Amino acid sequence: MSYPVSCFSVNVCIGYEAAKWVAMMGATVIMACRSKERAEEAMQKIQGEFQVEQEKKTPVICDTENVSLEFMELDLSSFTSVRSFIEAFKSSGRALHVLVCNAGVALMPFKTTEDGFEVMLQVNYLSHFIMIAHLLPIMRRSGEDCRIVLVSSDAHRTCNFDVNKMNYSGDPKKFKRWDYYGKSKLYQIMQMHCMHRRLEGSNISVNSLHPGLVETEISRSYQDYRLMTGLNWIAKVLGQMKTPIDGALPIINAVVNPGLKGVGGVYYKSLEHGYSTAEARNETKQEVLWKKTLQLLKNEIPAEIILGLEKE
Ligand SMILES: NC(=O)c1ccc[n+]([C@@H]2O[C@H](COP(=O)([O-])OP(=O)(O)OC[C@H]3O[C@@H](n4cnc5c(N)ncnc54)[C@H](OP(=O)(O)O)[C@@H]3O)[C@@H](O)[C@H]2O)c1
């Protein structure tokens, strides 16, 4: 089987392990990353680790000489970059079977992007939303088992849903990072439910997941946040942190498990069905968010694409 996978991000993190194992199982993986240098470094490392797994005769990996990896530039904090990525992907004429929206930032201090949105809202939610909207028509004609995976977080439990406060506009000093990180992750789960309703019975399934508390580079986003870096340190000392491969397992499962063909609308916690909050599962609020998101993104998602999103 050969299928392109998009929106994996790299380095010592969850996306690296997920992209590596999916590629080692025979997929063509497109690493959609903001840094070409870091992506190429990761791709080279994956090729080396593939040779080691082949020598160990690890089951499930493919017998090709190399794994199939490609880099495409994507900076989720810029709609211009997201647009260029979408155009480049469309003009490649290739199919798209799996789209994994993994890249993310956490607990950042208040900052707005060049597009005027709070950065966690744009990177974690809005930019992925635009990509999905534009790439969905390609996925609709890419085969009978296409999948979208949204890497969310149990951090969605820490926030309240308020559609009028999606884009923070208050005093930067009063910005609550936990709340806004949680909100961005809550929106991903709510989006997943909205899309599942619209895609049920089609060739595309959509799921979201919490990878667990994983030791990665995500703390780069909040180096100045002593409380959090301290809590992470304690969790690590107590052995409560997962490794990146453990964190990647639910993604790999959602991408390749043949038993999950056509199964959508699930929030996975590790490999099990997890429970998101009642708010995340509230259909009325999900639809309010959907409408508000399309309104916020009216310049990025034209009417005919919206019609396509609503179809089926
Ligand atoms: N680690 C955890 O405990 C945990 C828990 C729950 C959920 N998650 C979620 O898991 C996902 C992966 O996180 P991780 O822990 O693996 O963190 P990570 O090591 O920081 O990896 C995040 C990746 O996102 C990429 N990224 C950040 N901003 C970007 C942008 N503007 N454009 C494109 N790519 C961007 C980074 O790219 P660069 O390589 O260029 O920096 C990095 O490769 C995130 O969505 C996170 O919210 C993590």
Q: Give the Cα separation of 59 and 256 in Å (integer).
A: 15
CA of 12 to the centre of ligand 1 (A): 10
Structural domain range at position 122: 4-310
Q: What residue owns the CA closest to ligand 1's atom 44?
A: 104
pLDDT in tens, 247-275: 999 999 999 999 999 999 999 998 999 99
Q: Which residue has the tokens 């909040």?
A: 222
Residue 67's alpha-carbon distances to 30, 50, 52, 170, in angstroms, are 11, 7, 12, 48
Q: What is the domain-level CATH number for residue 112?
A: 3.40.50.720
Q: How many domains does the chain have?
A: 1
- Whether 78 is in the pocket of ligand 1, judged by its Cβ within 6 Å, is no
- Whether 255 is in the pocket of ligand 1, judged by its Cβ within 6 Å, is no
- Whether 15 is in the pocket of ligand 1, judged by its Cβ within 6 Å, is yes
Q: pLDDT band at residue 1, thresholds of 50, 70 and 90? A: very low
Q: Report the chain's terminal Cα–Cα distance, integer Å.
A: 27
User: Of residues 121 and 3, which shows the higher confidence score?
Assistant: 121
Q: Specify burial of residue 221 (Cβ count, 10 A radius: 0-12, 13-18, 19+).
A: buried
pLDDT in tens, 183-220: 999 999 999 999 999 999 999 999 999 999 998 888 88
pLDDT in tens, 52-74: 999 999 999 999 999 999 999 99
Report the chain's C-alpha Rg in angstroms: 19
- Whether 10 is in the pocket of ligand 1, judged by its Cβ within 6 Å, is yes
Q: pLDDT band at residue 223, thresholds of 50, 70 and 90? A: confident
Catalytic residue among 180, 181, 187, 222: 181
Give the pLDDT score at 2: 41
pLDDT in tens, 8-33: 555 568 999 999 999 999 999 999 99
Q: pLDDT band at residue 311, thresholds of 50, 70 and 90? A: low
CA of 252 to the centre of ligand 1 (A): 16
Judge whether residue 295 has pLDDT over 90.
yes
Contact 253, 269 (CB under 8 A): no
181 catalytic? Reply is yes
Residue 129 in tokens: 């939303």
Q: Specify burial of residue 129 (Cβ count, 10 A radius: 0-12, 13-18, 19+).
A: buried
CA of 150 to the centre of ligand 1 (A): 12
CA of 61 to the centre of ligand 1 (A): 25
Lowest mean pLDDT among 5-14, 129-138, 143-152: 5-14
Alpha helix positions (H), 225-266 = 226-237, 244-256
Q: Specify burial of residue 152 (Cβ count, 10 A radius: 0-12, 13-18, 19+).
A: buried
Q: What residue owns the CA closest to ligand 1's atom 6?
A: 153
- Whether 103 is in the pocket of ligand 1, judged by its Cβ within 6 Å, is yes
